Amino acid sequence: MGQIFPRNANLFVRVSIFAGLLGATTLILLIAVFFRSNAYRQVNVAIEQPVPYSHQLHVDVLGIDCRYCHVSVEQSYFANIPATETCMTCHSQIKTESPDLAPVRASYASGDPVLWEKVNRVPDFVYFNHSIHVNKGVGCSTCHGRVDQMPVVWQTQAFFMGFCLDCHRNPENYVRPLEEVYNMEYVHPANQRELGAQLVAQYGIMPPDQLTNCWTCHR
């Protein structure tokens, strides 16, 4: 009976065991890293808008409150995108000739809304309500980041479910006094855990076993 394999066949087989394991591990890791990557999740990617609107200018320099435009945030699940009329409250008087604002004026004249691009998204199967969060002491910047520093808005969070659960499991780590909710520069104090626990009790935030019920977010 002749040889059917070359002399180095055994070595090849032994190496291939480790190479196979290494290859499989690497592949799984690469897939995991890819789906968590900011590039895939569009985190820190500035989204171009039909109008070059700058939050930095309006919030930081001019000092307009979030709720001037996002009126419904305290009453509704949705922090509304302002209507053209909201822009025109000022821009009918200020910068009336600016070419950058031409789409806004056109929208005002025709009645068709400006087609703003949505930046912060949660999936369809998530029931997210802005009003409950801002009324229980979760600040805008906790999820949206320093929007007052953004000339063009980008997502600062990938909004993984782990991100939501982190706070739903330990709300005392994140809640702030109600009067600080719209403060973009708010920094958690050193005694956040004590203050947080106190605020959780004061605002009647549900215990974690209820906050982490599937039904809380998936209805």
> Interface residues with other proteins (CB under 8 A)?
1, 4-5, 9-10, 13, 35-36, 158, 160-163, 165-166
User: Shortest Cβ distance from residue 186 to other proteins (Å)?
Assistant: 25
User: Shortest Cβ distance from residue 17 to other proteins (Å)?
Assistant: 10
28/102 with CB nearer other proteins:
28
112/166 with CB nearer other proteins:
166
User: Shortest Cβ distance from residue 13 to other proteins (Å)?
Assistant: 7
Q: How far apart are CA 122 and CA 125, in angstroms?
A: 8
What is the 3-state secondary structure of 130-194? HHHHHHCCCCHHHHHCCHHHCCCCCECCCCCHHHHHHHHHCHHHCCCCHHHCCCCCCCCCCCHHH
Asked if residues 88 and 104 have their Cβ atoms less than 8 Å apart, the reply is yes
Place of tokens 């709720």: 67
Q: How far apart are CA 17 and CA 20, in angstroms?
A: 5
Consecutive H or E run containing 14? helix 9-36
Give the E-state strand segments of 3-143 in sequence order: none
User: Shortest Cβ distance from residue 159 to other proteins (Å)?
Assistant: 10
Tell me 177's DSSP state.
-
The number of residues making up the chain comes to 219
10/98 with CB nearer other proteins:
10
User: Shortest Cβ distance from residue 35 to other proteins (Å)?
Assistant: 7
